[in-house]
A and B are shown apart, each in its own frame.
Chain A
């Protein structure tokens, strides 16, 4: 199948079409002819057999007619009075002359070979053939039947004549109806046979005259005569014996069993049937018709040869016709295809010449329709090829040039190669040295690793993306996770407790800015327990400045934190407890000073005032402590409102007015009007500047000066408070912003101060995202510079989750 399909796909169109056409036509032709032939053959046979049957039937009628005459004669003669009288006499005379004359007279001009009379016993009494006289025919069926009064006809082989004959027997009855004797007329077979011989049937088939016992009496084929149609059974054979029908002659057998059956069964007629002749090895048709009313049959045997010959000739004619027709059609088809393919051929030739290199050939101009487009495409293609060729030349020239220079380079390079080989040798040496160094390093690293592993601090090393490469034992202890769980994971495994913002800021510092980060945050152990740590992360950079590792060290400060919280809480509680007596004393002293308890003497009044002042100091101190504890607890929330810094500063100025006056100080302010209001906590703003200005006032000298300036900068407000007071030493600078710190010279100056002012101020400013910068020179003064951005990072009460550290 596959090869067939491939064949169909390949090959020329014409060839393919032709072959297909031939194949299809042939197949259909054969089919048609075969069918036709069959039909024709069948029809012919039918016609022939029908004809045969008709002719056969006609023949039987003819034959019968010939016999009828004899039969009738027999009938007439058997009832003739003469014969009756003859047999009726007491003594019947043998060969009576008178009666014999009757018989002779009767058989004149007729084909009766014999006419004779038998007595009741079957003895021939009277006969036209004297040879028959005295013969006993009691065994003949024609006698036995007629003796019983039944007229009978049969074909029998005569004893005396030794010839076949038609025997018509009739009973001769007396007056009383008794059978006196039997009349027998023997009719000659010759004219009957002759009739058969010239029968029309002979034109189509063999004709047979068959007796009622199935034996062929006559046929145009001599080898059929005196043979039974088919093998007779023993009963039939015995009958033949006894009746001596054929005078003891041997009866052979033929193959017409169906015919025999038809005859013996009494049906008498066999419609033409097809049988196979084993002897002659061919198919033939046989049919049987009874010669009514006589007990013998005519049979026709027709072989198919004729029919077949006719069919064959018709078929041959068909084939011839078909052949001629097909050839004609084929030729026409080929012609048509060639004509249609003509343009294609033109295009093919055109394409071929182009392909052959002839780029100047003209395209065929008599091609129409879609094929025209194809022509145009080829033409364009040709143009394209021309162009390409031209380009190609240019490129080839160029390439050649390049090749030449390349060759030159290669020559040069071979010289370099020698040098390279020498250099490589050196490199190998270096590599060996490096190897040794590396091995050394490994040893060092091992020691280092051991130390790190056993350090009491949680150490984790990650790659530049934060994936953990190493974690020491302390890390395991802290986080509760095993090294296996930690390595290849991320620090978020024990993290994720802070806000996204917080981690983002951290990542910013270490990754983007590539700086070390320190801070405090909350983590979560595997058990779920939260704990606070102080963390420092250092990025490790390679020579190009790119981050390759991060080293993170965490210190569990939960206990510290707890301690701190307890401290703060204590502060808070204590402060409140302290306030109670302080507050009570304040009021009592106020009432005292107010004269509620009567007029005081000057001395008493002065002392009372002292008491009051000191009491107020203590109240202030307690307030400060409370503030600090609140700040440390992170509970110093902002109440945002629009705050005009210039306004507040001026208000604070007023508060300190009397004090400034009393110390003969001079406050100079330069407040930039462009500084408008910012959104802030008014209380805190006041506190900040209160503290700073208070310091400038407190730690100033007699006749000192204080400069107060505000200015608007691009992204916020700048406030500078400068004084030329006692300043602060370098040694103490670093701790100015810490809690309860008072510089040495401040303490020595005997001026009161809690040491909280700058701490608080710095805390507030820092949390808002601003900066507080102090510069000072001892005895020359101090400058405090505060920068507040436009948008302060206000601490709103709602945002409390996650942000536990600053």
Chain B
């Protein structure tokens, strides 16, 4: 399949298989190009893919936790301009603040957001 330039490119950082499959399914259906990273290191590498529009970042990851990844994304010249939204089941206000402080655009709690809302929000950001 040819990568079409006008398809927005999203990087999803998620280690849970269940979610990974849903993202791939739904987002592709909605017309996004989806890159999938299963851990922090992969995420950082894939983040440098040219034409990346958005990163959806989970907080609970193996080895490197989400905050560290976020930090590194934002301190890397090549990646710091890319918008990052935290998609996590951790819902403590303190986590929210910390993420925003580190440079996250927004923070959505997975279990409290419907899939359609999620799509709408992503579309909203990409426009």
Contact = CB atoms under 8 A, between A and B. Distances in A.
Contacts of A582: 111
A384 interface: no
Contact of A590 (B93, B109, B112, B114): B114
Interface in B22-77: 22, 25-26, 29, 60
A635 B94 contact: yes
Given A576-B89, A635-B92, A591 B111 contact: no
Looking at chain A's contact residues, is the secondary structure mostly helix, strand, loop, or mixed?
helix
B112 A594 contact: no
Contact of B22 (A580, A584, A619, A635): A584
Given A587-B115, A619-B111, A619-B112, A596 B89 contact: no
A583 B110 contact: yes
Contacts, number: 63
- Name the residue among A581, A590, A622, A637 with the largest chain B CB count within 10 angstroms: A590
A626 B112 CA distance: 13
Interface string B101-113: 0000000011110
Nearest to A586: B111
A587 B18 CA distance: 10
Contact of A580 (B16, B26, B94, B114): B16
A775 interface: no
Contacts of A590: 114-116
Contacts of A639: 93
A579 interface: yes
A579 B110 contact: yes
A579 B26 contact: no
A591 B25 contact: yes
Contact of B18 (A572, A581, A596): A581
Interface size class for chain B?
Answer: 20 to 34
A651 to B, nearest CB: 18
Contacts of A572: 92
Contact of B89 (A579, A588, A591, A594): A579
B28 to A, nearest CB: 11
A686 interface: no
A630 B96 CA distance: 14
B98 to A, nearest CB: 12
A584 B16 contact: yes
A579 B111 contact: yes
A588 B20 CA distance: 12
Interface in A595-626: 596, 619, 622-623, 626
Contacts of A579: 89, 91, 109-111
A584 B91 contact: no
B112 A588 contact: no
Contacts of B118: 587
A680 to B, nearest CB: 16
Contact of A583 (B25, B93, B111): B111
- Name the residue among A582, A583, A622 with the largest chain B CB count within 10 angstroms: A583
B92 A588 contact: no
B90 interface: yes
A584 B94 contact: no
A587 B87 CA distance: 13
Nearest to B18: A584
A609 to B, nearest CB: 14
Nearest to B91: A626
Given A580-B16, A584-B19, A584-B22, A594 B115 contact: yes
A588 B110 CA distance: 12
A591 B26 contact: yes
Contacts of B89: 576, 579-580, 583
A587 to B, nearest CB: 4
A630 B95 CA distance: 13
A630 B116 CA distance: 29
Contacts of A581: 18
B25 to A, nearest CB: 7
Contacts of B19: 583-584, 587
Nearest to A588: B22
A146 B60 CA distance: 170
Nearest to A618: B111
A637 B94 CA distance: 10
A151 to B, nearest CB: 155
A121 to B, nearest CB: 167
Contact of B115 (A591, A623, A635): A591
Contacts of A619: 111-112
A427 B23 CA distance: 97
A619 B110 CA distance: 11
A596 B111 contact: no
A124 to B, nearest CB: 170
Contact of A586 (B60, B90, B114): B114
A364 to B, nearest CB: 103
A798 to B, nearest CB: 12
Contacts of B18: 580-581, 584, 588
A572 B26 CA distance: 30
A420 B18 CA distance: 101
B15 to A, nearest CB: 10
A592 B26 CA distance: 11
Nearest to B89: A579
B61 to A, nearest CB: 13
Contacts of A591: 22, 25-26, 115
Contacts of B114: 586-587, 590
Contacts of A637: 93
Interface in A517-575: 572
A594 B60 CA distance: 28
Nearest to B23: A587
Contacts of B112: 619, 623
A576 B90 contact: yes
A373 B93 CA distance: 94
Contacts of B110: 579-580, 583-584, 587
A630 B25 CA distance: 35
Contacts of A594: 115-116
Contacts of B25: 591, 596
B122 to A, nearest CB: 13
A590 B116 CA distance: 8
Contacts of B26: 587, 591, 596
B89 to A, nearest CB: 4
Contact of B111 (A588, A622, A630, A635): A622
A652 B111 CA distance: 22
Interface in B1-30: 16, 18-19, 22, 25-26, 29
Contacts of B91: 576, 579, 623, 626
Contact of A587 (B22, B29, B92, B93): B22
Contacts of B92: 572, 630, 635
Interface in A373-413: none
Given A579-B89, A580-B16, 18 more contacts: A579-B91, A580-B18, A583-B111, A584-B110, A587-B26, A587-B114, A587-B115, A590-B114, A591-B25, A591-B115, A594-B116, A619-B111, A622-B111, A623-B91, A623-B111, A623-B112, A635-B92, A635-B94
Q: Can you list the 3 inter-chain pairs with the closest CB atoms, starting with the nearest?
A: A583-B111, A579-B89, A584-B18
Interface of A: 572, 576, 579-584, 586-588, 590-591, 594, 596, 619, 622-623, 626, 630, 635, 637, 639
8 contacts: A576-B90, A579-B91, A579-B110, A580-B16, A580-B89, A583-B19, A583-B89, A591-B22
